[in-house]
Amino acid sequence: MSFVDLRAFLEHLERNGELARIRVPVDPDQEITVIQHRVIARGGPALLFENVVGSNYRVVSNLFGTRQRTSLAFGGDPALLGERVFRLSRNLMPPGLRGIFRSRRDLMALSSARMRTVRQGPVLETIQTTPDLNRLPVLTCWPEDGGPFFTLPLVHTTDPENGTGNLGMYRLQRFDSRSTGMHWQIEKGGGFHFHKAVAKKRPMPVSVVLGGPPALIPAAVAPLPEGIDERLLAAYMMNRPLEVIARRTTGHRIPARAEFVLEGSVSPGDLRWEGPFGDHFGHYSHAADYPVFRVDRILARKDAIYPATVVGKPVQEDYYLGEALQEMTLPLLKMIRPTVVDFWAYPETGFHALAVLSVNERYPKEALKHTLGMLGEGQVSLTKVLITVDHRVNARDIVDVSQALWRHLDAKSGIHLLAPTAQDTLDFTGPAMNTGSRLILLAADDGSGPVRGTPPQHVPRPADLPAGVSATAALGPAFLIVQVDDSIKEIEPLRQALAHHAASREYLFHVIVSKDVPLTDRIMMLWGWFTRFDPLADLYPAGRKVEGNRLLFDFPIAIDARWKTGYPKPVEFDPGVEKRVDRMWPRLGLPDE
């Protein structure tokens, strides 16, 4: 099943009890954030806010708040979409009539992955040549956000040199009635296009699409190779051509059935302070200078619906979108690297902070080749910690990964620290924005490393550890998680105590986290660990030495994953807004908490 636009998707959801209409007045300033967080935590429906304070437009959010709704937007099981392309490559190599006949259905589906130009479409029903962005119900998600932000904008640009299109999702802070920020992070296609425009010293047209076929949203955030237009992926998901309208104003082809399109440009040297923003790392990302998007006109359907999302600590909509995209792209990865069994970037950690690769080695140390190869692939190159394991290990189960590390991680040959490196713009743990370090842990069973025996049997009690330790938990045999309060200022005394304690010293890693990280919730445990440490700065091994040109570590290794001075604050609701939502909750028509 596929959907030609947002409205067709909403109609399907409503028929199947997956859409809730909220008719009481709701403020886009933080109230929608609180409501969506409560609903998504219970696996609740998509939310259509029909009475938004300060705007005549409706807002829809939580479109992708369950795996089932996400699969609908993909047009079916995401893994099957990727498998279809994998099947084609296998059946058509070498080319032959038998393979073509066998693949006829897959070929027909692939042939729909294109755009079809039409002259008219609903998005042209109204055209504002004097645009006023203040009329749109743009969300202010968190108390300390720099302002209202567009959170589901589909930003279309074309390469100034060859005209290749790109569709990406980059947050836009609304500055005034005619301008927004353009938050182009590193490794983003739109940013690469703008880099070329800056070199040519000329403005670059930008079209920001809001709404349209729901497949456009996952396509825009898909990790496609540079130079492939994400709109073609959307058409492939829809199993039908994407209808577009050619615009003389920008030279762009825009989705004919979008809800809104903002047309304008960004210019070299036109910068403005943007942020902070409560992002998907669960903290406020740092403010900085970013290009300004100057809006020339707004195209919109009559009675247009404004799409939005809310991010923050997991689990949010981006969790399910990221899972589905990984399922879809894994078969394509296997086409390029046949020995790869699985690759999983953990959504709990914001994806880029932790990924696990499982490989079927054909000779000793082949795993290192694939590990380094993955770190050279597009946005995967921003992965902070990459763990490589044997093909028999479940790469998506951190406890199974921990067991593999316990059995096979060799401190002499399996730990690789790379610094300095480029880092995800939203990762705040490095010495400066966009810079940080990488940690590679190799635990593939190639017969060359250690095979440890009996794993740790006990978790040390907080009472037996230094004052300030409030809780402990094991995450498999490799990781001991130690929760501490603010009374612990220096890491070294605690590191030594853990290294000499009879129970804790058996673990390979001692991960020290702050009091706000619950050890009873594995998702939040991984969030609190991986969003708050830089490998170069925060590893404290029992010993270290240099052999040749290699730095070698001794176990156990303490990891200081506490929140530190200079880090942005984690996002938290405004208590006053929470109380307002409490009072309105009985009138929202949503399930009781």
> Would you please indicate which residues are annotated as catalytic (active-site) residues?
279
- Write out 140-161 in H/E/C secondary structure: ECCCCCCCCEECCCEEEEECCC
Q: 482, 469 in Cβ contact below 8 A?
A: yes
Q: 223, 380 in Cβ contact below 8 A?
A: yes
For residue 270, give both structure tokens.
């036109």
Q: 232, 216 in Cβ contact below 8 A?
A: no
3-state secondary structure of 473: strand
Strand partners, 47: 20, 61
The DSSP secondary-structure symbol of 529 reads H
What are the two backbone dihedrals, phi and then psi, of residue 196, each rounded to the nearest 5 degrees? -70, -35
- As a whole number of angstroms, the distance between CA 312 and CA 348 comes to 11
The vertex-505 CA angle with 499 and 511, nearest 5°, equals 75
- As a whole number of angstroms, the distance between CA 230 and CA 423 comes to 24
Q: What is the dihedral of CA 512, 375, 350, 317, to 10 degrees?
A: -160
DSSP code per residue over 264-327? EEEEEEEEEEE--EE-TTSBEEPPEEEEEEEEEEEEE-TT-EEE----SSSSSHHHHHHHHHHH
Residue type, 483: Q
The DSSP secondary-structure symbol of 348 reads G
The vertex-293 CA angle with 58 and 161, nearest 5°, equals 120
Strand partners, 263: 207, 297
Q: Where does 25-77 have alpha helices with state H? A: 31-41, 67-74
Residue type, 479: F
Q: 254, 247 in Cβ contact below 8 A?
A: yes
What are the two backbone dihedrals, phi and then psi, of residue 295, each rounded to the nearest 5 degrees? -95, 125
Q: Which CA distances in Å does 503 have to 296, 303, 353, 397, 513?
A: 65, 64, 29, 24, 19
Residue type, 305: I
Strand partners, 435: 422
- CB within 8 A of 199, min separation 6: which ones? none
Per-residue exposure over 54-91, b if at least 16 CB sit within 10 Å of its own CB, e if not: ebebbbbbbbbbbeebbbbbbbeebbebbbbbbbbeeb
Total length of the chain? 593
For residue 297, give both structure tokens.
């006109």
